[in-house]
Amino acid sequence: MQSLIALFLPCVLLSSALLAHCPAVAAEPPPPEFQKHVANLIRQLGADKFQDREAAARDLEAAGPAALDQLRQATKSTDLEIARRAADIIPIVERNAEIAALIQIVAKDPESSKRWRAAEQLGYHGKHAAAAFPVLLEAVKDEYPLVRYAAVMALARVDASRAIPKLIDIVKGPLGYDVLACRAAVALGEIGSPAVAAVPALVEALGSKEKVVRREAAHALGLIGGDHPKQVSALLKALDDAELEVRLRAVEAVGRMKRQPADCVPALIELLKKQKPPQGNAVLQPEQAEYFRAALQALGQFGSDAKDGVPTLLEVLRIKNYINGAHLDAIAALERIGPGAKEAVPLLQDLAAGRLYDGVYAEKAERALQAILKPQQ
C-alpha cells in the first residue's frame, strides 16, 4: 500500500496544484454581461454562414473556463450544429485551462516535485502548449535536476523549431552538464530530421567522457539522419567504443544512414566478420550476440545496396548452432537485398524445404526466396 501511495502521490499533488491554479474553479459566477456575450456566441454556432460559425467557435475557445457551464448546456441544444460544436469546444477550453495552470506551476510553485510533474505534463500537450516555451526555457535553469530534465524534453515537444538552438547549446555545454546534455540529445533525436543543424554538436558529443552522452548522441544522429560529412565517420568510429550500449546505438544509427552505403556497408560487413564465431562453434556471450544481431539488422536496412554482404550472411546461416536469432536476422537481410542475393538461393531452398535446422526457418526462407526471385520490372 505504501508503494502505491508513493507512486500516485506526485500525481495527486499535481492535481491539487492544478485545482489551485486553474481559473476553471471559480466560486463566483461570471458577470451577466459575460454570460450574455457567451449566449450570443453559442447561438452564432448555428449561423447560416460557415465563417460566422468558425468565428464564434474561436471566440468561445478564447472565452476560457468561465464559459464552460453554458457550453455544457449548449451540448443539449436541439440545434445539432450548436450541440456538436459546443461538444468540440469544451475539451479545447479545458485543455487550455490546464496548460495555463501548468505554466503557473512551473513558473511559481515552491515545491520542486510539482514543477517537475507540471513540466512533464506540458510536454505531453505538445504544440498546444507552445505558450509555455518561455517558462520552460527558464525551467532549464531550475535548481532541481528533474525539473531541468523535464523542461528540456518539453521544449522539444511544444515548439521544436525554437527548441533546437537551445538544445544544441546544452549538448555543447560545459563540463558537469553531462546528464542534461544526454536529455538534450534525446530531445533532438525525438525531433528527428528537422534537427539536422544539431549534427555537428552531436558528432562532437560522441567524444564525451560520459557514456550516456555518447550513447544518446549516437542514437540521435541515427534518428536525425542526413549526410553530414563527419556524421558517418564518427558513427563508424563509435562501433569500436569501449561501452556496449554505445556500440549498439552506433550500429543502429549506421543502419539508418541509407544515403551512404559506400561507407556503411563495408564497415558492417567487416564488423560481422570480426564478431562471427568460428565455424561449428557458435558460442557467443550474450553481449556479443546482441551486438552481432544489431549489425545484421543494420546491414539489412541497406536493402539492395547491401548485396556485397551476401557471402557473409551465408556464412552466418551455415553456423549450425543457434545464435540468439542471428539466423533469422540473416534471412531477413537477404530478403531485403532481394534480387541481388541470388547467390543465396540454393541455401535458402534447403532451408525452405526443411532440409536444414529441422525446418525451423522454412517459412522465413520461403519469403526471402520470393523476394529474391521475383521478376524485376
| Structure-derived torsion over alpha carbons of residues 228, 232, 233, 237, reported in degrees to the nearest 10 | 140
DSSP secondary structure code for residue 284 in this structure: -
Q: What is 18-98's CATH number, 3.10.620, 1.10.10, 1.10.287, 1.25.10?
A: 1.25.10
Whole-Å CA distances, 124 to 57, 105, 352: 24, 15, 47
What percentage of the chain has pLDDT greater than the value 70? 88
Nearest to 182 by CA among 157, 158, 161, 206: 206
Model confidence at 280, pLDDT cuts 50, 70, 90, reads: low
Residues 259 and 228: beta-carbon distance below 8 Å: no
pLDDT at 355 over 50: yes
Separation CA 338–CA 270 (nearest Å): 21
Reading the block at residue 257, the C-alpha cell is 544512414
In sequence order, what are the residues at sequence separation of 6 or more whose Cβ sits closer than 8 angstroms to the Cβ of residue 25?
A: 19
Quote the percentage of the chain above a pLDDT of 90: 77
Domain boundaries, the chain: 18-98, 259-377
Query: Which helix (DSSP H) or strand (DSSP E) does residue 288 occupy?
Result: helix 286-300
Average pLDDT over residues 279-306: 84
**Short-list 365, 321, 363, 313, CA closest to 343:** 313
Residue 2: pLDDT above 50?
no
Model pLDDT, residue 323: 64
In which band, very low, low, confident or very high, does the pLDDT at 179 lie, cut at 50, 70 and 90? Answer: confident
Contact 132, 154 (CB under 8 A): yes
Nearest to 181, CA basis, from 160, 154, 159, 201: 201
Q: Is the pTM of this model over 0.85?
A: no
CA distance 193 to 89: 34
pLDDT bracket for residue 16 (50, 70, 90)? very low
Render pLDDT for 121-173 as a digit per residue (tens, 0 to 9). 999 999 999 999 999 999 999 999 999 999 999 999 999 999 999 999 999 88
Query: Cβ(233)–Cβ(250) under 8 Å?
Result: no
